[in-house]
A and B are shown apart, each in its own frame.
Chain A
């Protein structure tokens, strides 16, 4: 299981993470919500060492990484091998075909042979509904297709956890739906996931656990049912704003 304790991170004079502690259970989907600039992206990016908190502990199973000390490359690579990140902007490799995008990690990092990697890449592309796009370049994809390729690319690494940082925020609702369906399917297969999203309807469906972040602090951490039935006024207001209830 993945767990963080007392994470602190400042950007200039802004505290992005203010003594944050949270656990992310295995085989479950944890959804992180909160207003823009609340620190949720910083939190999820810290889990993959794309941001470095100044202090705190990162626990991965029985591994304890003290973030206030220098973390060596081997430790970071170890964590990154077991986790994958999906970005709001997809970040596909534009010079590689869709198939090559999915094969690149398995070949370069997992040292799989080409045939094996290609076979699995084809399977994964079929799974995200893009079997016929294997040979095109990423620029020829719609946003929803690109994000599904990015999801396939992360699945190819067989990660223990997938972190998704606002995976559908750049998409219109129809394309968003394509991506959300894929994520729901993966969640049902008990892939451990942590998702930052603004889509409350999706959060309600996919989440086992909700975390609400504001001003670098956690205001709520608990089961999804409790979150949507909370009487915490701040969270009630947030949910109604995100779902356009009182427009």
Chain B
């Protein structure tokens, strides 16, 4: 059995380095950007035509939180090629598997993270806004200099949850023909008839990657909490 592990582990790790890790990181970064803008749009006090943009932001969050990620992947990769619009997409929207995966993962995690960021901004005491307003700061400056730095600290644990979930959810990319870690383990299991060993092995790799993230979360929490008096 040791032989099985030593020969297949490098293949699984290679798939992890080639797909799982890059897809996770790129999707999370894009997702965070989407999340920040979505949260800010939803918290904006602007009125007029802006309420349409707010409604779109709310619809987006609802849509991606209310449907399964696997179904979203299928719609984007297998479904969108059939979305033929005269003049715009005469041949449907066709994407490479990795592009479809990153797009879907980004939008999915972005929806969840936007709620995290929105809640963290709302958790900052109103007095912080008032103090900054009275100094004469504008709303964008207050957000950038006063509110978001404090909100970041609050949002780190739930954002880390989302990131860790995303890493594991990339295993669903196997279903849209991406040869990531889980897909590789399936292929090897089909050849050597050792499903227990192979799936346990791939589970260990996911756990390893997520452990690194947990450690990173701990480190970032320490850095961003240096101004808080520790509670014993």
- Give residues in A with beta carbon < 8 Å to B: 48-50, 73, 77, 80-81, 83-85, 87, 89, 91-96, 104-105, 108-109, 137-140, 150, 153-154, 157
Whole-angstrom distance between the Cβ of A91 and the nearest chain B Cβ? 4
What chain A residues lie within 8 Å of B132 (beta carbons)? 93
What chain B residues lie within 8 Å of A139 (beta carbons)? 227-229
Q: Which residue of A lies closest to B149 (CB)?
A: A95
Complex: A80 Cα to B116 Cα, angstroms: 32
What chain B residues lie within 8 Å of A109 (beta carbons)? 135-137, 141
Taking a contact as CB atoms closer than 8 A, the residue among A73, A83, A137, A157 that contacts B227 in the complex is A137
What is the 8 Å Cβ interface bit string for chain B, positions 120-147, against chain A (1 contact, 0 not)? Answer: 0000010110111111111001000110
Complex: A230 Cα to B229 Cα, angstroms: 49
What chain A residues lie within 8 Å of B226 (beta carbons)? 137
Q: Check B150 for interface membership: any CB of A closer than 8 A.
A: yes
Contact size range, B: 20 to 34
Query: Are A48 and B137 neighbours in the complex by a CB distance under 8 Å?
Result: no
Whole-angstrom distance between the Cβ of A47 and the nearest chain B Cβ? 10
- Known contacts: A93-B146, A94-B150, A137-B227. The answer to whether A105 contacts B138 by CB under 8 A is no
Query: Are B227 and A85 neighbours in the complex by a CB distance under 8 Å?
Result: no
What is the 8 Å Cβ interface bit string for chain B, positions 189-203, against chain A (1 contact, 0 not)? Answer: 000000000000000
Q: Which residue of A lies closest to B132 (CB)?
A: A93
What chain B residues lie within 8 Å of A48 (beta carbons)? 133-134
Whole-angstrom distance between the Cβ of B73 and the nearest chain A Cβ? 39
- Known contacts: A91-B130, A94-B228, A139-B228. The answer to whether A157 contacts B135 by CB under 8 A is yes
Query: Are A87 and B127 neighbours in the complex by a CB distance under 8 Å?
Result: yes
Complex: A150 Cα to B134 Cα, angstroms: 12
Whole-angstrom distance between the Cβ of B174 and the nearest chain A Cβ? 42
Whole-angstrom distance between the Cβ of B197 and the nearest chain A Cβ? 49
Complex: A38 Cα to B125 Cα, angstroms: 25
Complex: A84 Cα to B130 Cα, angstroms: 11
Query: Are B131 and A108 neighbours in the complex by a CB distance under 8 Å?
Result: no
Most chain B beta-carbon neighbours within 10 Å: one of A83, A91, A109, A138: A91
Query: Are A50 and B134 neighbours in the complex by a CB distance under 8 Å?
Result: yes
What is the 8 Å Cβ interface bit string for chain B, positions 151-177, against chain A (1 contact, 0 not)? Answer: 001000000000000000000000000
Q: Which residue of B lies closest to A138 (CB)?
A: B227
Query: Are A94 and B227 neighbours in the complex by a CB distance under 8 Å?
Result: yes
Taking a contact as CB atoms closer than 8 A, the residue among B131, B136, B150, B228 that contacts A87 in the complex is B131
What chain B residues lie within 8 Å of A85 (beta carbons)? 130-131, 134
Complex: A84 Cα to B133 Cα, angstroms: 9
Going nearest first, the 5 A-B pairs with the smallest beta carbon separation are A85-B134, A91-B131, A91-B127, A105-B135, A137-B227
Most chain B beta-carbon neighbours within 10 Å: one of A81, A94, A105: A94
What chain A residues lie within 8 Å of B136 (beta carbons)? 77, 80-81, 105, 109, 157
Q: Which residue of B lies closest to A81 (CB)?
A: B136
Query: Are B135 and A104 neighbours in the complex by a CB distance under 8 Å?
Result: yes
Complex: A96 Cα to B132 Cα, angstroms: 13
Complex: A81 Cα to B131 Cα, angstroms: 12
Complex: A84 Cα to B132 Cα, angstroms: 10
- Known contacts: A94-B150, A95-B150, A95-B227. The answer to whether A77 contacts B138 by CB under 8 A is yes
Query: Are B149 and A89 neighbours in the complex by a CB distance under 8 Å?
Result: no
Complex: A104 Cα to B136 Cα, angstroms: 11
Complex: A92 Cα to B227 Cα, angstroms: 12
Query: Are A108 and B141 neighbours in the complex by a CB distance under 8 Å?
Result: yes
Taking a contact as CB atoms closer than 8 A, the residue among B134, B146, B150, B153 that contacts A84 in the complex is B134
